[in-house]
Chain A
Amino acid sequence: MSYIVLDKNKCKSCYLCTDVCPKELIKKSDEIGKTGEFIVKFEDKENQCLGCSQCAIMCPEIAITEVHKE
């Protein structure tokens, strides 16, 4: 199972990661982050994550700190 590690305290709600995930696994959550906006969440109930790291490469805050690929 591939997965990412998201540091919620670093997310600034720019949503750039939501556009690059080929499986659309990163979405706006209902949790407010440090900029006063909704931060993102990673949800992968069907184990679709490819471990491609595109979200991590795109995140300007290094809020996606790790990507693990199986």
Chain B
Amino acid sequence: MQVYSTPKAIKENSNFTFCPGCDHGLAIKTIAHVIDELNIRENTIAVASSGCSVFLYNFLDVDCIESPHGRACAVATGVKRAHKAQGNNKFVFTYQGDGDFASIGLAESMHSALRGENITAICINNTNYGMTGGQLGPTTAMGQITTTSQNGRNREYHGFPIKTAEQIAQCEGTCFSARVALYDIKNIINTKNTIKKAFEYQNQNLGFSFVEILSSCPTNWKLSPKESHEKIKTELSQIFPLGVLKDVKND
């Protein structure tokens, strides 16, 4: 009996173009499994962003629209509302890096959450600007060395990192906010279930749903894929604790 197969929501013969061991691949694969399980491939519109996340439209077999850097939630708002005005209830989600979602796009992201926009945002937090060479981003941890913080992030010069899932949970229009990771099988399965929940909340018109995924960037971290997962497990998940930060159904 076949117990595992490539998700149908992944385009046939597509090859991920991420660096070896990058969690972007795992994240997109996990989203594809959820799209399969909920059987929403025909009704989904994905909004890609700028950064390594941009390649989403090459791999996911759903309708995709590309947005300018940081503007994915604004574009998703337009897509969702325009279709709704036509009487179509499309399923709309964004796929963004942490730099995209929480730095250049912070205003668009947070106001979408405040408006309770009925979309889902997925944010890949790899604690740096991956595509452009590993610069310090809004989520870079204190002390973390990047190409633009050679002596490590410090309070005097760079200030503190943002805890995105906590901030989004604070917005009244948010129905669901959670932080997950992909460093082992248990967490990958939990990530799948969490994304599924966020997607289902959108289908129930509950408001803005958000999933932050602690992810690896082995190339810019200058670590092996295995060491990168170890770093997320032992260091990053201490700074950015995993779990559900808001769930309107349980609060």
Interface, chain A (partner B; CB < 8 A)? 9-10, 12-16, 19-20, 35, 37, 51, 53-54, 56-58, 60-62, 64-70
Indicate if B226 sits at the interface (CB-CB under 8 A): yes
Contacts of B189 in A (CB 8 A): 57
Q: Does B6 count as interface, using CB distance less than 8 angstroms?
A: yes
CB contact under 8 A between A60 and B5, given known A16-B226, A16-B229: no
- Taking the complex as formed, is B21 at the interface, i.e. its CB lies under 8 A from any CB of chain A? yes
Interface residues of B in 199-239 (CB under 8 A from A): 218, 224-226, 229
A37 CA / B229 CA spacing, docked (Å): 20
A68 and B225 contact, Cβ closer than 8 Å, known pairs A58-B188, A61-B25: no
Would you call the interface of chain B mostly helix, strand, loop, or mixed? Answer: mixed
- Of the listed stretches B10-18, B42-50, B84-92, name the one at the interface; the rest are far from the partner chain: B10-18
Q: Which residues of B contact A35 (CB under 8 A)?
A: 20
- Tier of interface size on chain B: 20 to 34
Residues in A with CB closer than 8 Å to B6 are 62, 65-66
Tally of contacts, chain A with chain B, CB under 8 A:
70
**17 extra interchain contacts, Cβ-Cβ under 8 A, other than A14-B225, A20-B185?**
A12-B21, A14-B218, A16-B21, A19-B226, A35-B20, A53-B3, A57-B189, A58-B26, A58-B185, A60-B22, A60-B29, A60-B225, A65-B6, A66-B2, A66-B4, A68-B2, A69-B1
Chain B positions within 8 Å of A, measured between CB atoms, are: 1-7, 10, 15-16, 18, 20-26, 29, 184-185, 188-189, 218, 224-226, 229
Does A65 contact B188, Cβ atoms closer than 8 Å?
Answer: no
15 A/B residue pairs, CB under 8 Å, sorted by A: A10-B15, A16-B21, A51-B3, A56-B4, A57-B188, A60-B16, A60-B18, A60-B25, A60-B29, A60-B225, A61-B15, A62-B16, A66-B5, A69-B1, A69-B2
Complex formed: what's the CA distance from A62 to B79 in Å?
Answer: 30
CB distance from B186 to the nearest CB of A (A): 10
A56 to B5, CA, bound (A): 9
Establish whether residues A15 and B4, one from each chain, have CB atoms under 8 Å apart when the complex forms: no
Residue of A nearest to B188 (CB): A57
CB < 8 Å neighbour of A62 from B21, B23, B29, B225: B29
